[in-house]
């Protein structure tokens, strides 16, 4: 671990995404940094299918395997919520009941 990297060992982080449209570097890079710092990161998607990321909201990016479905998530088990960007990701998540349930739990201090 680098000198300025916090020790996140024992902390669980939840990344919420759709299966298409999340900006590649806004998912892949933070998840890698969090894992490098020792955090246990769950990448939860709307479906149990490969996540197709985008670069610049239009070009195909890396494929990422989700580790959970949003519907199966108990937000109380996580210390941090990561909502990666991407226009399509944000537009889809704001209409997804499970994503909204998770976000509400975090914002209410649940």
Domain with 41, as residue range(s), is: 12-98
Percent of the chain with pLDDT over 90: 93
Residue 109 within a domain = no
> Is residue 107 in some structural domain?
no
Residues 12-31 have pLDDT tens digits of: 999 999 999 999 999 999 99
Could you tell me if residue 3 is inside a domain? no
Q: Per the domain annotation, does 65 fall within a domain?
A: yes
103 occurs within a structural domain: no
CB-based contacts of 95-102 (< 8 A; 24+ apart in sequence): 96/18, 96/46, 96/70, 98/46, 98/69, 98/70, 98/71, 98/73, 99/16, 99/46, 99/70, 101/75, 102/14, 102/16, 102/44, 102/70, 102/73, 102/75
CATH code of 20's domain: 3.40.50.880
What is the pLDDT, as a whole number, of residue 1? 56
Output the pTM of the full model.
Answer: 0.93
Mean pLDDT of the chain, nearest integer: 95
Number of domains in the chain: 1
What does the pLDDT average to over 38-53?
98
């Amino acid at each position: 671990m680098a000198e300025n990297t916090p020790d996140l060992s024992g902390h669980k982080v939840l990344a919420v995404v759709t299966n298409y449209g999340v900006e590649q570097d806004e998912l892949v890079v933070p998840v890698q940094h969090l894992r490098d710092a020792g955090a246990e990161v769950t990448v939860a998607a709307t479906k149990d299918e490969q996540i197709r990321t985008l670069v610049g909201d239009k070009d195909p990016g890396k494929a990422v395997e989700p580790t959970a479905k949003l519907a199966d998530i108990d937000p109380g088990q996580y210390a941090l919520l990561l909502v990666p960007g991407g226009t399509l990701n944000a537009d889809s998540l704001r209409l997804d009941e499970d994503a909204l349930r998770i976000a509400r739990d975090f914002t209410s201090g649940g």
